[in-house]
Each structure stands twice: as C-alpha cells, then as structure tokens.
Structure 1
Amino acid sequence: MPVYVTDKPLHLTSHDVVARARRLLGTRRVGHTGTLDPLATGVLVLCVDDSTKLVQFMERDSKDYLAYISLGAGTPTLDAEGPLDREEAVPPLTPEMVQRTLDQFLGPQQQVPPQYSAIQVNGQRAYAAARAGGQLDLPARDIHIHELRLLGQYPKVQDAPRTFAPDEAGRWTPAERGQTFTLPPALGEHPTLLVWARVGSGTYLRSLARDVGAQLGVPAHLSGLIRTRAGRFGLEQASPLDQLAEATPQDDLSALQLPRLEATPELAVQLRQGKRPVWPEAGRFVVTLQGQLVAVADGDGQHLRVVRAWA
C-alpha cells in the first residue's frame, strides 16, 4: 500500500499532479493529502491504491511552509496570480514590530478563506463565483497556527533568498548551500517578509498574508510559497514529479502521524474478523481509542482497517 512524496512544480495544480501520477504509476487510484495552489511548490503526499484510505487521516496533519508576504500591494487572489488591485506605501517596520504582529496569529483562531478557493457554498465553488465577478459569503473556519518566525525583511521579493536548508528541528532557513526554489514572477517591487510557518490543517497561507498586512495597516499578498513538510514527510524525502515511477514508496504505517500500538496475535485476528476487543493493544490498523486516532500494527504488517477500539 504505497505512499509517495513528490515536490510539486510551479504552475501545476494538485489535480494536475495526481493526473500525472496516475499515468506514471499505472493506476487510477491516487489521492493527495492537502491541496497546494498552482503558484506554490513543495511537498505533496500521494496515496496510491489501497493507501487512498489513509487520506482522511493524513489530510489533518500539520504542515510547514516558507512564505513570502509582499506588503503594500493587494490582489483579488491574495497571491502573485494578480492582478494588483490596491497599492499603498508601507511605513517603516522593525523586525520586532513584525514578529509581534505574527505572534498575534498564534494558536486556535478563525480564518476567512480566500474568495479564489475551491470551497463550496450551496453547491457553488467560490473561485467560480469570483471569476464571474461575484463573491460568496465564506464563513470563517477554525484553524490552528503553531509557529510563525520572521526570517527576514527585504526591499522587494526579488531580493529575498531562494536557497534554504533544514536545521536539526526540521525548520528551513536561508543558507549558502541547500535547495534552491523557484518563485512565481513578481507583481512589482514591494517590501517583503520571509516567514517560516507551522500550521494546522485547513489554514490558508494566502489568507494569513492578507491578515498580517491588515494588522500592519497595508494590503498584502503571498508572493511565494514553499511547503517544506506535510505530516511525517519533508522536502528531503520528496522526489521530482517526473521521477516518481523510480521513487521508493513509503509504507502506510510510516506515513501516519499517529500514536502507535503493537497488537498481540489474538487481537490482530479479532480485528480482522471485525470483532470489538475490550483491550487496546493493537497493531496495523487505525483505531479510535477514547476519541483519539491510533495507528495499530499487527505481526504481518499487511492489513489495514478502520476500527473503533474500546478501553
């Protein structure tokens, strides 16, 4: 039950990547664990064949990003797709002022999604309404932002670093040697913040850029975005999309960012038979134990089910 990690290229949608993966891997059963916008690059986790059952659990995983937030310029899409619809002068900002502003967005909160998004309201996609010149009333959604770090401020996005390397904690920071990323064409020369972010599922970095700008008193847009981690997988493990067929897949248990339990042979048999054991020792399954998802591995490591365990 393979799981593949790829580095999504610029300008492709996540659906485009899935379509190419189907051709490269020779299967129709491919799903991803979290959409990346066309102007974003980085980690996209693909679940193939029976591993598509894991998507419902893995799409909840936290994710890390490098985000370029350009200030003083707004766009309808909230990113570099444009066009610019608002420009204002940016007042002097110290790193301390910017970090204090970023800190205000930490923790659980509500966020209004972008109008140019795939969210549906009464069966209508928000982006379809926006392209037709309208707007949907998008309700704010519960999100959780775990960490925001200002890595630098630059007179324009063209001056911001493109080469990064991960530290021991997995946070990517500018480096002389490492991985070099490609950003979308800039919409002009605007003061730009480089931010490292760790966020919970459902967080829109485009909306965060908009809201950070608003808190600083100026319009803003996301001029570049790189996902450096999704769940257990970082860019270090990602394969180029055109080399996906030669990549080594991950097994399903290693893909799950969940607590793990080891099953006894007796319990593994009961789980396979669809029984409801009264003790929690378990193995190669996904279970809900007192409301918490747990990965459970049996002796042969070949079976995966979704069960509810009772303590």
Structure 2
Amino acid sequence: MPVYVTDKPLNLTSHDVVARARRALHTKRVGHTGTLDPLATGVLVLCVNDSTKLVQFMEADSKDYLAYISFGAGTPTLDAEGPIDERAEVPELDTAQLQSVLDGFLGAQMQIPPQYSAIQVNGQRAYAAARAGEHIELPARPVVLHELRLLGLYARVHDAPTTFTPDAQGRWQPAESGLGFTLPPALGDFPTALVWARVGSGTYLRSLARDVGAALGLPAHLAGLVRTRAGQFGLEKAVSLEALEGAAGMPDLDALQLPRIEASRELAQQLRQGKRPAWSEAGRFVVTLNGELVAVVDCDGNQLKVVRAWA
C-alpha cells in the first residue's frame, strides 16, 4: 500500500501522470492528493491500491510554490497558455511596494477561481464551458495564504533563476547549484516577480497572479509555477515518472501525519469488526483528543484504520 512522491513534468495533466503511474505500477488504483495544471511542475503525491483511502486525509494539506508572475499581459487562462487578451505598459516596479502588495493577500480571504479550472459547474468542468465559449460566474471560495515572499524582480521571466535549493525551514531559495526547473515558453518580455508561496488547500496561484496585478492596476498572468511541497512531501525527495516503476514508495503510516495509537490484539479485533469499544481510562475512542483524527495501529505494526477520537 505505498505512497509515491513524483515530480510532475511540464505539459502533462495530473490525469496524464496518474495514467502513466497505472502502467508503471501495474494497477488501476492510483489517486493523487492535489491537481497541478499542465504548465506547472513539481510535487504530485500518488496513492496506490489501498493507499487511495489516504487521499481524503492528505488533500487538505498546505502546499508551497515558486510562482513567476508576469505583469503587463493578461490571458483567459491566467497563465502562459495564452493567448494574450489584455496588455498595458508597466511602470518601474519597486520591490518594497510589491512585497507590501503581497503582504495584503496574507491570511484568510475569498478568492475567485480561474474560469479555466476543473471546478464542476452544473455538471460540467468550468474549463470545458470556457472552451465552448460560455462565461460562467464562479463564486469566490475561502482560501488561506500563509506566506508570500518576493525573491526577486526581473525584466523578463527568463532572466529569473530556475535553480533552487531548500533552506532548513523548507523555503526554496535561488542557488548556483541544486534542482533545476523548466518553465513554459514565455508569452513575451514582461517584468516578472518571483514569489515563494505557502498556501492552504484550494488556493489558485493563477488567481493570485491576476489579483496581484489588479492591485497594481495591471494585467498579469502566471508565467511559471513549481510546487515544492505538499504536506510533508518535499520536491527534493520526489522521483521522476521514468523512475517510478522501480521506486520503493512510502508505507501508509509514514505518509500520514497523525497521532498513532498502538492497539492491543483485542482492541484491533474489535475495530476490525466495526465496533467502537469503550475504553473508560482513555476516552470513548481509545484516547482523549477532542475530535482529532488518529491512526490506529494493530499489534503487528501495520495500519488498521483512521478514527476520530473524542473525549
């Protein structure tokens, strides 16, 4: 029941990656814990066979990104897929001013998703409706942006660094040696901000690019995006799709960041039978955690199930 951390290549959808993983791992049961757009690269966590049950506990994890935001051109998709449908002259940008604008987006807020997204509206994907010429008003959704750090401001996107290494806190920084990333072809020579972002689940970095541009009175688009972390999984430990077939994968218990309970043989048997055993000295569901999820491990050291523990 392994979990794999893969490095999604440019120009593949998350569904493409799942299809390739099914062939490489010789199984039809493969799921992922958070979609990446075709023009984005980086961490895509795959859960295989019985591990697909873990997706529900991992898809809400926070995520880190390196985002390249280009100013002076807007696109319908909000990224470098194009075409450009709005242009404006860009005044000289100041890094302190731009960091101040980024700081204004921190915290909980409502964000309007891109028209070209996989959100279902009236039984169809929003991107399908958009490509059919329909305009759908997508409602704003609650998101949380934890950190936004301006790493640099460049005359054009391909002047920005593409080689990085993580620091001790997992924040990726430009470096002379490290992991190198491939960006999509640029739509033109537009001033570009490189931003390191730590955001909550459901946040669209394409929407952030649009909104940062709007705050500056400019059209903007996401010229490149790299996911460097999803939950506990960092890009430095990801495997390529070509190496997936021979990769060892990660056991379920190591993939879940949950408190663990070592169950006795008797308790494990009761839980397998679907019972909710009374455990007076430690609370209704074995421990007192006030509704927190816990991983219950049987006496052989294998994961048994995830339960919600109440006082």
Per the TM superposition, whether the score is higher than 0.5 is yes
In the TM superposition, residue 266 of structure 1 has moved relative to its aligned partner by 4.2
Per the alignment, do residues 105 and 259 of structure 1 end up closer, same or farther by CA in structure 2, a change over 3 Å counting?
farther
Aligned to 2:163: 163
- Structure 1 distance, partners of 2:188, 2:15, is 29
Query: How many percent identity over aligned positions?
Result: 74
CA contact (8 A) 2:253 2:303 kept: no
The letter for the 2-side match of 1:157 is V
Say if 1:70 and 1:191, in contact at 8 Å, map to a contact too.
yes
Listed as ranges, the gaps of 5+ residues in structure 2 are: none
Q: TM-score, normalised by structure 2?
A: 0.94
One-letter code aligned to 1:106: L
- Does structure 1 conserve the Cα–Cα contact (< 8 Å) formed by 2:144 and 2:200? yes
CA contact (8 A) 1:264 1:281 kept: no
Give the Cα separation in 1 of the matches to 2:46 and 2:176.
Answer: 31
Q: Which residue of 2 aligns with 1:269?
A: 269
The root-mean-square deviation of aligned C-alpha atoms, in Å, is 1.9
For the 8 Å contact 2:69–2:224, the answer to whether it is kept is: yes
Write the deviation string for residues 185-215 of structure 1: whole angstroms up to 9, x where unpaired.
Answer: 0000000000000111101110011011111
Q: Paired residue for 1:135?
A: 135
SS in 1 for 2:177: coil
> Residues 5 and 310 (structure 1 numbering): CA distance in 2 closer, same or farther, change over 3 Å?
same
1:45-194 counterparts in 2 under 5 A? 45-194=45-194
The range that moved more, 153-162 or 295-304, is: 295-304
In the other structure, the counterpart of 1:297 is 297
1:57–1:131 Cα change, 3 Å: same
- Alpha-carbon separation, structure 2, partners of 1:86 and 1:252: 47
- 2:288 and 2:75 map into 1 onto residues whose CA distance is 43
For residues 149-180 of structure 1, the C-alpha deviation after alignment (integer angstroms, 9 at most, x for no partner) is 00000010010001000101111110001011
Q: Counterpart of 1:219?
A: 219
SS of 1:304's equivalent?
strand
The answer for the alignment partner of 1:235 in structure 2 is: 235
**What SS class does the counterpart of residue 37 from structure 1 fall into?**
coil
Structure-1 separation of matches of 2:305 and 2:4: 20
Residue identity in the other structure for 1:140: A
List alignment gaps of at least 5 residues for structure 1.
none
Does the CA contact (< 8 Å) of 1:39 and 1:80 recur in 2?
Answer: yes
Give the distance between the partners of 1:64 and 1:146, measured in 2 at CA. 10
CA distance in 1, matches of 2:50, 2:245: 17
Aligned residue identity for 2:111: Q
Quote the offset at 1:299 in angstroms: 2.9
Alpha-carbon separation, structure 2, partners of 1:310 and 1:278 = 11
- Structure 2 residue matching 1:76: 3-state secondary structure: coil
Residue 37 of structure 1 is matched in structure 2 by 37
TM-score normalised by the chain length of structure 1: 0.94
Q: Distance between the aligned counterparts of 2:265 and 2:108, measured in 1?
A: 41
What is the identity, as a one-letter code, of the residue corresponding to 1:246?
Answer: G
Q: Distance in 1 between matches of 2:309 and 2:276?
A: 7
CA contact (8 A) 1:126 1:135 kept: no
Give the drift of 1:265. Answer: 4.4
Quote the residue 1:199 is aligned against.
199
Aligned partner letter, 1:66: L
Q: Report the residue type matching 1:12 in the other structure.
A: L
Kept after mapping to 2: 8 A contact 1:278/1:309 = no
- Residue 208 of structure 2 corresponds to 208
Aligned length: 308
Contact residue 145 and residue 199 of structure 1 kept, 8 A: yes
Structure 2: which amino acid aligns with 1:65?
Y
- Structure 1 pair 132–4 and aligned structure 2 pair: CA distance change class (3 A): same
- Do the aligned partners of residues 281 and 38 (structure 1) sit closer, same or farther apart at CA in structure 2, a change above 3 Å counting? farther
**Aligned partners of 1:200 and 1:295: how far apart in 2?**
23
